[in-house]
Amino acid sequence: MVFTDADGAYGPGDVDRVVRALAAAPVAIGRRGEEAATPLVRRVASRVFNQALRLVSDLPFADTQCGLKGFRRQAARELFSRSRLNGFAFDVEVLLLAQRLGLAVAEVPVRAQVRRGSKVRVLLDGRRMLAEVWAIRRGLSPARAAWR
């Protein structure tokens, strides 16, 4: 099972690489490289968000916000049946759940095509995402048995 951003930023070859990675791990996520066409503000915000996310969540992944992710069927059932969010940070929650459940996650290099018309507001949405991630992290603490 694969999902991707609605703007069509990832091509069939990227999707195929993610699907192939599922042979080795129950979860596979894209990892974007630096794109010269990406606006500087967006690149800086992405880097800051990823660093903050690593501090708050302990997730080791280089690009949690890449909009291309794949799951084996059973992993998808396990993860999405436990997830609570439907905002921009829903995939961070799913990766935290995967980590908690001990599921291997493969990172796959992909190349995103820059598309106009993004609905992401860098500062406002970035703040909301970090607040969601902090709430998720608290919810995944050992003291909260419902999240286990």
Find, among 23, 108, 11, the residue nearest to 61 by Cα: 108
* CATH code at position 25: 3.90.550.10
Alpha carbon 46 to chain centroid, angstroms: 12
Q: Decide: pTM greater than 0.75.
A: yes
Q: Which two tokens stand for residue 136?
A: 């998720």
What pLDDT is stored for residue 55 in this prediction? 76
Which domain range does residue 49 map to?
2-140
What pLDDT is stored for residue 142 in this prediction? 36
Q: What is the pLDDT along the chain (148 residues), one digit of tens a residue?
A: 999 987 788 899 999 999 999 999 999 999 987 665 667 776 777 777 777 777 777 788 888 888 899 999 999 999 999 988 777 778 888 998 999 999 999 999 998 876 665 555 666 666 777 777 777 666 654 334 344 3
In a domain, 114, yes or no: yes
In a domain, 78, yes or no: yes
Distance CA 143, CA 68 (A): 32
Strands 68-71 and 105-110: unpaired
Sheet containing 68-71: give its strands across: 2-4, 68-71, 27-32, 105-110
What pLDDT is stored for residue 115 in this prediction? 61
Indicate the SS3 state at residue 78. helix
Q: Which two tokens stand for residue 89?
A: 């940070």
In a domain, 147, yes or no: no
Give me the number of domains the chain comprises.
1
In a domain, 118, yes or no: yes
In a domain, 16, yes or no: yes
Find, among 81, 106, 78, 83, the residue nearest to 94 by Cα: 83
What pLDDT is stored for residue 147 in this prediction? 40
Contacts of residue 15, defined as CB under 8 A and 6 or more positions apart, other chains included, come to 2, 4, 68
66: left (phi over 0), alpha (psi -120 to 50) or beta: beta
Find, among 131, 130, 138, 20, the residue nearest to 72 by Cα: 20
In a domain, 146, yes or no: no
